[in-house]
Structure 1
Amino acid sequence: MLQYAMNLSDRQAAEAVRCRIDFKYALGPELEDPGFHHSVLSDFRDRLAEGDRADRLLGLALTRIRRAGLLKGRGKQRTDSTYVLSAARELTRLELVTEAVRAVLGNVVRDAPELLDELVTAEWAEHYGRQVRLCSQPSHPVARLDQVGTDARELLQRLDARFPGGAVPAQAQILRTILVQHFLVDGRGRFRPRTKHDGQPPSRVQIESPYETEARFTRRGDTRWTGYLAHVTETCDDKRINIITDVATVVSSADSQALPCIHARLRRLRLLPGQHLVDGGYTSVAGMDAAARLHRVTLIGPLPASTSPQHRAQDGFGRENFVIDFDQREVTCPNGQVSGNWQDLPVAEPTSVTVRFGARQCGRCPEQAACTPGPFRSLYFPTRRLHELQAKNRADQQDADWRRLYGLRSGAEGTIEEFAHSHRGRRCRYRGLAKTHVQHVLTALAINVERLSRQEPADSTHPRHSSRTSTNAACPAPCGGAKTNDPGSQDSRQSPL
């Protein structure tokens, strides 16, 4: 935790434990203690990355903070997310396949050097013997990609023949997945690279580096990155220190998918908020209802706007112009037509309803052009409970008190900046999702300790506070010119001369 609070490397942290008195005071060894080797920190992180040990460590710290009276549940909390860059560099498709072949050959050299002459030719040793770094416009990229793909396919065939039963090295499995994602055998039997017309895999499953197989390419607006997403949750109660209560490191996905897991972890720690302030990326009608029913948490945030063509064009009749009667299971259009074609979507617990106005109703309507471009109009809307919750949320957004309360959410941006820039949480120090999560947990602990250490004790009987008060009372004048009658002081003793 001290290492992440001061942004130290492993060698710098081990050296600080050996020679800095503040580290020795915090950790408790003897002053002459020689410390430990810096590789111990790497071994510790490996153990901490197993299972949910990182989350348990954060939970232990939060439990002690709560017992000290500095943290309580059922208050206000806020959550925001930020992107995290992978430790591996970004690769083009040619570099990716070439590095994947090189990683397999390096694995064979390290684990089974006796197979080197059998699997690797002199030409391969020349092509894949060093790290691949290509310029922005390499020469003959298509031909080189074809050749690298052919070499990779041949290497996998040799490994399958040498290791029957699928017992090939782990890097070979990664290479096989990369070949499936970027190459195919066409109708003529040719093994060639995929194009955009051949159906390339989506970014949520596509491997971006043979050394960082969990990182994914993500695009959000104008921001593009390869790596992960970090969700940071902190308290925001008035007249209390803001404490980070949860850190979630996930493969880049929708923010709303991370919220149920955040609530589940806070529930185990008995730190669930009463009001949870989030931005529009976390909110949905179903998510608000689930948070209220399962955890008694009021999710405060703007719901996403309607995605209908009429709403986007700001012209025509949207869903809000139709009158929905849940009791009679009917919908009335702005022109007075009533549709009883009411259908709940076929799921275990219906959350949406679809209603369709027939072609006969829409065909003779004078407002058809402003309502639908087709011969009929279909409406999709949530069930009654969710529809009322949605209407209430959109009405609350017009209230000044709701806006004043939601204004507290903007403070999460400062925490994200502190997390990303002051403690270098924007870039992964290590490879893999598990060790990256350990980095984020230790960073959150460091931020919490820094915030708590800046608070002055409220109790005047605190030893540090009381000692300062007694010193000032005994010495009202400046110490440089003060005299005292204390017989043990240097000024009152008689000089022997």
Structure 2
Amino acid sequence: MAVGRTPMQPGLLSSTVGFCEGRLAPNSIYAVLHRECRALFPDEMFADLFAEDGRRSVPPMIVAVVMVLQRLEGLSDREAVERFAFDVRWKYAAGGLDFDHPGFVHTVLVDMRARLAASARPNRIFERTVEVAAQAGLVGRRRVLDSAPIYDAVATQDTITLIRSAIRGLLRAADHVLRAELRAVISSGDAYTSTDKPVIDWTDAAEREALIDSRARDGFALLTVLDGRAVPGDVGQAARLLATVLGQDLEQDGGVFKIARKVAADRVISTVDPEARHGHKTVRRSFDGYKGHVAEEPDSEVITATEVTAGNAGDAEPAADLLADVLQPPAAEQADQARAEVYGDAAYGTGPLLAELDDAGARVMVKVQAANAPGGRFSKDAFTIDLEAGQVTCPNQMTAAIRPKSDGGGAACFKTACAACPLAAQCTTARNGRVITIGPHEEHLARGRARSADPVWLAAYRATRPKVERKIAHLMRRRHGGRRARVRGRAKIAADFSLLAAAVNVARLGVLGIMSTGSDKWAVAAG
């Protein structure tokens, strides 16, 4: 299929331009797309996705506009193509197409996403919005970081459902010869063809335990058949999932498999979407799915980078990737630029990230959690840590040497000094005295806590960091495709989240008055 070309000459009497002009605000997303869509998303931008000859595709610029509006309005593929067919604003946004411009089927959107995913630049629509903002001088070297839960699009499964579903997936992946060999070792009598739970008395503990044990034995028997054998990729993947499910939830007690009295650290919660995880946004607020991470330029409120991680990942884990553009040294012609400035809440105040920011020479505006101790006792901040001298001084002016550890940190043990200390009751209840643990990034954490207590620093932090909260609200305002994922799997959700960020960026650029000045140069309208 060859790349299609967007029509350049709308009909004199049938164009949507005359109808929409004056009815839509000049800074609306429909108006900015109408004015700039050909410069924002030219057909040539997608030429590498198509063959040089063949049947012409739907013009990629039109598809890109539909994808952007679809994500902003939280529509399914079928709803989006219907909106394009009957909503004059969408045709106006796609360059002022005629009222009777032909629509297209929803599979065109599916095909475009697949082509983008297989390309060298899968997030080019989002990257284009950042590139345009930078051309217009809207992207500096300040960044604010934040994340938000993205609820998965599947149901969380219990242990027996996970095991049966994983076994069913393995049988489905095997060819008919291997499937017959696998079925021969199943001893429970379960056919594993239905998603319905086995019919037992679920109030009877003995029956529940027998069910778990029998299905677990089926699973291990299947893995034994495959042990050491070369199998196709999809069979191997299904077998690994089954092994993970069996290993994370079960333990053997007296030769009987039972549900373990623990929760695995990286527990698979669904065989339909094995990458989804249990996550916590706060101590009391949990969710199942993924986390969407963003970096925002706080002055223009343009999103500069996005990432999606499993729900149990820490907020600081993808921070280096989100900040890659500002953590790199500026080019020679930009050497006089201000140094990078990074804002983040206490979730980003981890030792490794603080060390990376300090090493890059960034101005660190990241909050660090204050030290605390149980029972209102002396926190770690009450001790004087002298890393150069390799010692720690307690509130009673007793000193203990720091014993180094292999990870670069250490520990200072006060031992018997606490026995005769008049402040011991306010410090520790341990028989061997207070122990102060020194992390490998202790210097950066201490510096961060000191910064967080500075009123001037705190005022700048409070004036800037909340801006990203509003941007998160823009991203998550639609439940379908915003707060809840439209697709399954981290790669697809990451691409969808990137496209959502592109749509929000285009809307923001419209508010700022972005305009093309020719030769792929951009500016913001005066006033």
TM-score interval, normalised by the smaller of the two chains: 0.7 to 0.9
Seen in structure 2, the aligned counterparts of structure 1 residues 363 and 9 have a Cα distance that, compared at 3 Å, is: closer
> Structure 1: which 5+ runs fail to align?
460-464, 467-497
Between the aligned partners of 2:342 and 2:268, the Cα distance in structure 1 is: 35
8 Å Cα contact 1:325-1:331 kept in structure 2:
yes
* 1: CA distance, partners of 2:149 / 2:199: 27
Question: How far 1:365 sits from its partner (Å)?
Answer: 2.9
1:229 to 274, 287, 291: 291
* Runs of 5+ unmatched residues, structure 2: 1-67, 331-336, 517-524
Percent of pairs identical after alignment?
Answer: 25
Q: Tell me the CA shift for residue 277 of structure 1.
A: 2.0
In structure 2, give the amino acid aligned to 1:333: C
Q: How far apart are the structure 2 equivalents of 1:391 and 1:177?
A: 40
Match of 1:421 in 2: 477
Counterparts of 2:442 and 2:426, CA distance in 1: 27
Which residue is 1:486 aligned to? Answer: none
1:333 pairs, out of 394, 407, 425, with 394
Q: 2:463 aligns with which of 390, 407, 424?
A: 407
Corresponding residue for 1:346? 406
Does residue 278 of structure 1 match 2:338?
no
| TM-score, structure 2 normalization | 0.71
- Indicate yes or no: 2:185 matched with 1:129: no
Deviation at 1:250, TM superposition (A): 0.6
Deviation at 1:213, TM superposition (A): 1.0
User: Which residues in structure 2 correspond to 1:178-193 (within 5 Å)?
Assistant: 178-184=245-251, 190-193=255-258
Give the alignment partner of residue 246 of structure 1, picking from 305, 313, 316. 305
Q: CA deviation at 1:169?
A: 5.3
Tell me: CA distance 1:452–1:114, structure 2 relative to 1, closer, same or farther (3 Å): same
Code of the residue aligned with 2:323 in structure 1: it is H
Letter of the structure 1 residue corresponding to residue 453 of structure 2: A
Q: 1:288–1:299: 8 Å Cα contact kept in structure 2?
A: yes
Q: Which residue of 2 aligns with 1:78?
A: 144
Report the counterpart of residue 217 of structure 1 in structure 2: 278
Deviation at 1:244, TM superposition (A): 1.2
| Letter in structure 2 aligned against 1:420 | M
TM-score (normalised: structure 1):
0.74
Deviation at 1:242, TM superposition (A): 1.4
Residue pair 2:297, 2:303 contacting (<8 A) in 1 also: yes
CA deviation map 1:373-410 (0-9, x unaligned): 223333234678537624531431xx156325423322
Corresponding residue SS for 1:106? helix
Aligned to 1:442: 499
Aligned residue type for 2:508: R
Secondary structure in 1 matching 2:113: helix
Give the letter for the 1:195 counterpart.
A
- Structure 1 residues 440, 273: CA separation in 2 closer, same or farther (over 3 Å shift)? farther
What secondary structure sits across from 1:320 in the alignment? helix
1:50–1:434 CA contact under 8 A, matched in 2: no
Q: Residue 302 of structure 1 corresponds to which residue in structure 2?
A: 367
**Aligned twin of 2:154:** 88
How far does residue 81 in structure 1 lie from its aligned partner after superposition?
1.1
The 2-side partners of 1:259 and 1:67 are apart by 24
Specify whether residues 235 and 284 from structure 1 end up closer, same or farther in structure 2 by C-alpha distance, changes over 3 A only: same
- Distance change (3 Å), C-alpha of 1:116 and 1:358: closer
Map 1:158-173 → 2, pairs under 5 A: 160=226, 164-167=229-232, 168=235, 170-173=237-240
Secondary structure of the 1:225 match is strand
Aligned to 1:488: none
In the TM superposition, residue 431 of structure 1 has moved relative to its aligned partner by 1.1
Matches of 1:243 and 1:35 in 2, distance apart? 31
Relative to structure 1, the CA distance from residue 4 to residue 334 in structure 2 (aligned partners, 3 Å threshold; closer, same or farther) is: closer
CA deviations 1:293-341 (Å, max 9, x no partner) are: 22x322213311214xxx33223x44333344556544443334344x2
| Residue 390 to residue 68, structure 1, CA distance change in 2 (3 Å) | closer
Q: Which residue number in structure 2 is paired with residue 313 of structure 1?
A: 375
Structure 1 contact 99–132 (Cα < 8 Å) conserved:
no
Give the total of aligned pairs. Answer: 434
Residue 490 (structure 2) aligns with: 433
> Residues 64 and 354 of structure 1: is their aligned pair in 2 closer, same or farther, counting only changes over 3 Å?
same
Q: Distance in 1 between matches of 2:200 and 2:457?
A: 54
**SS of residue in 2 equivalent to 1:281:** helix
Matches within 5 A, 1:7-18: 7-18=74-85
Measure, in 2, the Cα distance between the counterparts of 1:421 and 1:431.
Answer: 20
From the superposition, tell whether residues 67 and 165 of structure 1 become closer, same or farther in structure 2 (CA, over 3 Å): same
Q: What amino acid does structure 2 have at the position aligned with 1:43? A: D
Displacement of 1:212 in angstroms is 0.8
Question: Equivalences for 1:364-403 in 2 at 5 Å?
Answer: 364-373=420-429, 374-381=431-438, 385-386=443-444, 389-390=447-448, 392-396=450-454, 399=455, 402-403=458-459
Task: Verify the 8 A CA contact 2:351 2:442 in the aligned structure 1.
Answer: no
Instruction: Please report how far the alpha carbon of residue 185 of structure 1 lies from its aligned counterpart in structure 2 after TM superposition.
Output: 5.0
Q: Note closer, same or farther for the CA distance 1:381–1:156 as it changes in structure 2 (3 Å cut).
A: closer
What is the root-mean-square deviation of aligned Cα atoms in Å?
Answer: 3.9
Partner SS for 2:348 = coil
For 1:269 and 1:432, locate their aligned partners in 2 and report how far apart those are by CA, in whole Å: 34
Q: State the secondary structure of the residue aligned to 2:304.
A: strand
